[in-house]
Amino acid sequence: METDYGRLLWAGAYAALLLAAAGSDVWSRRIPNWSVLAIAGLFLIGLPFGWPVASWGACLAATALALAIGFPLFAVRRMGAGDVKLLAAAALFTGLDHMLLLLVATAVAGGALALVALTARPYATALAAAGWPQTRPGVPYGVAIVVGALYAGWNAGLFTVTQHLVHIDPSQMDLVQ
């Protein structure tokens, strides 16, 4: 097998941008617009160069679905605007084929993150006294979205960076002409 360094670069950039958004959400409870725009830009630049995603239509439909799901949650203050934008940008890469996996993996990761937050809440003052940074209340749901996006991307083949060599069977070739 041969490593495709172009795909490795795109996969690394996608993962790094997702992790930057998650880190910002943990630290400040804000997902910066530059990270979401960079993820969308990476999709737009990478698609013509053979990034292994679904068709344009399926990717745009997945993004529209993510916005249709996220906007009402934002309107009733159950989800932040940055979370909705990050989910829509991640949906660009999954397409409709893996959209359900993205949503389920995000929900499972969000539930686990909420359990950790609830478990750690009684110890917040002790952790702050021990030198840990004081965290803001709530759950940084961008982390759950990033976990869901990485899991769905892995299953969609976005992080496959090897090319399989074609096996040529000489017995099937007509060598005499």
* 70 token code pair: 């996220």
Identify whether 168 is part of a domain: no
Identify whether 49 is part of a domain: yes
pTM of the predicted protein model: 0.85
| Predicted confidence (pLDDT) per residue in 93-136, tens digit | 998 999 999 999 999 999 999 999 888 888 878 877 887 766 67
Per-residue pLDDT at 176: 56
**pLDDT exceeds cutoff 90 at 173:** no
Q: Which structural domain, as residue segments, surrounds residue 101?
A: 2-161
Cα 99 from Cα 60, distance rounded (Å): 11
Per the structure, how many domains does the chain have? Answer: 1
Identify whether 176 is part of a domain: no
Identify whether 99 is part of a domain: yes
Identify whether 73 is part of a domain: yes
Identify whether 109 is part of a domain: yes
Nearest to 65 by CA among 96, 35, 39: 96
- Where residue 162 falls among pLDDT bands split at 50, 70, 90? low
Identify whether 100 is part of a domain: yes
Identify whether 171 is part of a domain: no
What type of residue sits at position 35? S
